[in-house]
Structure formats: C-alpha cells, structure tokens
Amino acid sequence: MTRFNSLRRTLLATAVLAATTLSHAQAVKLTLGHGAAPGNPRHEAAVKMAEVAKAKSGGRIEIQVAPSAQLGDDAAMVTALRTGALDISANSQGAVATTVPEYAAFGMPFLFTDLPQVWKMLDGPLGKELADKSAEKGLVVLGYWDNGIRHMSNSKRPLSKPEDLKGLKMRTPPDAVTVDIMQALGAEAQQIKFAELYVALQQGVVDGQENPLMNIHASKLYEVNKFISMTGHKYEMTPLLMSKRSWDRLSDADKKVLQEAAAEATQLQRKLSKESDDKLLADLKSKGVQINTVDKAPFAKATGNVDDKWLTTPIGPFLKKVIAAAR
C-alpha cells in the first residue's frame, strides 16, 4: 500500500509538472487595434511589434493587428481596453485624455516645434508620471508613439493668417484642446470620427481638418482638400496602451517580451514619423496640392488664451511642469 501511495504521488507530481510546462508553452493571442490606415507609420509599427513579439517568444505570442478603426474609433477602443475587451491599442492623445486628462497637457498650441524634444520629455519623469496616472485607470503604457506636429487643410483657400479661418467648418478629433484652438482662431469646430472624415470632407459636411502630413497622406485626404497650410499649431502623441486586465494575465517572461517588442516598434514609429514631412511634402505637391507656409506668430498670439484656460483646470499643476520643460 505504501508503495502504491508513493507511486501515486510520483504520478501526480509528474502530471502537475507536465501541466505547468504545458501552461508556460501555451500560445498567447492578443489583439492590437488602431485607427490609422495601412501605410501609416502607426500601422507599420504595430506590424513590427507583432513580428518582434512572435520572434522573441518562439512563435508563442501572436498579436493580431486591426487597423482603420475596425474595432471602433479611438474612444471606443479606450473603453474596450479598460474593460478588457481589447488587449492593446495605439490610440490618440485626445481620446485617452477623456480618461486621463493629463495627456491634454502635451497638446497646447505652439508648445513644440521639435519632435526629439517631446520624445525626451515623454521618455523621462513626465512620461513616467503620465504612465502612473494611466495605470490608475487600468491602462498600461507600453510606449509613446508619435502623431506628429499638426497642420491644417481645407477645400476653400490657403490659410495665411488667423482671419482666414473665420467661418470655416473644421473637423477636430475628440480633443478638447484642439476644439479650443479652432474656436480661438474663429473656425467652427466639429468633432467627426477619423474613419468618417474623408466622406465628410468629400460631401462638404466640413470644409477642412487638421492632422500631421503622414495621416493626410495615408488616408488620401488631399484628394478632397487641395489646400494644406503648414501651421504646426500643436503636437499630439499616440499612446501605445495595454489593458491592465490583459497585462495581469501574462507571465513575467511574456511581459518582458512585450516590453521589448514595444520598444523596437516605438523606435521605428518615431523614425518614420520624423522622416515623413520632408518626404511627403514633395509627393503632395506632385499631386497638385497647394501648400503654403505661415507666419506662426499671429496664430500663436490668437491662441494664447488656450494655455491660460487649461492652467486653471485640475491638470494645471502637471501642465505647468510640461510648459516649463518645453520652454
């Protein structure tokens, strides 16, 4: 009997070990959603992250990339991250700011003109503070991708001075700072989902919009907006976020793989973003788009009250630190 019990214990131990080994070897399937079109640096980086994670895990970790708002717009994807319905999203600053308001601090008008300057801030203590605030809302920051310095396009006329925006219907993302900027310049701000923007411009629902050149180009907005004005009126990031619920289910080893994959993807996305403006300007001009530079000083003066307004909000102390670091 003793011998039987000993044998049984040995078999049970072997079974537990086998189950544990199997568990560690099980495939991890994740979904990454974003709103950009294929060809956009956001999509290229998402694909890169999936490739690196698969390679580093020996094929165990599979990330399915869903571009072009297939899983809903950015706001819907933020909600899905918090509930655990979506694993990862390369999202937008404005949509995330509705949950973590401090993200709005990086979108003040004419705060940044140089992308590496912003990245240095995001990769330092301010980015860490932002990540901590995100974690409190169930969002794990895997990286801060780039959504570029933004410019304006429209179907009516070149925008050379603030007065040129008066009366124009300008689409904005779900971003309160961008709405404030447009209103300060005398435009009528209308929030429209990015996935619906091309048709809205085509049908004249709005006259224009604002985005970095890489978004204007990848989504072919130049086909329905023949005037692009290089206003450089604000910066936006693309927070790469993971649901804390999904994150907590991963082993420490798999978390490390994802962090390494995200870091490589962040490097690629930022590189492509930085290279895009010079490269795309020439291509857009060849397509018949009229592009004009602007004297930014009058635009900055017209939007000066936007900073003042946001400094009085609950994010004021964090915004003050961002402004001090930028200037």
| CATH number assigned to the domain comprising residue 131 | 3.40.190.170
Query: Is residue 102 in a domain?
Result: yes
CB atoms within 10 A of CB 136: 10
Give CA–CA dist 240/130, Å, rounded. 12
How many domains does one find in the chain? 1
pTM: 0.88
Query: Is residue 192 in a domain?
Result: yes
Query: Is residue 11 in a domain?
Result: no
Could you report the per-residue pLDDT of 214-244, keeping only the tens digit for each?
999 999 999 999 999 999 999 999 999 999 9
Determine what percent of the chain is predicted with pLDDT higher than 70: 92
Residue range of the domain that includes 281: 20-326
Could you report the per-residue pLDDT of 145-155, keeping only the tens digit for each?
999 999 999 99
CA dihedral 276, 223, 232, 207 (to 10 degrees): -160
Query: Is residue 47 in a domain?
Result: yes
Query: Is residue 6 in a domain?
Result: no
Give CA–CA dist 85/237, Å, rounded. 23
Query: Is residue 37 in a domain?
Result: yes
Query: Is residue 3 in a domain?
Result: no
How many alpha carbons fall within 13 Å on the CB side of residue 190? Answer: 17
CB atoms within 10 A of CB 26: 9
Q: Is pLDDT of 270 > 90?
A: yes
pLDDT, position 277: 81
Could you report the per-residue pLDDT of 77-102, keeping only the tens digit for each?
999 999 999 999 999 999 999 999 99
Query: Is residue 4 in a domain?
Result: no
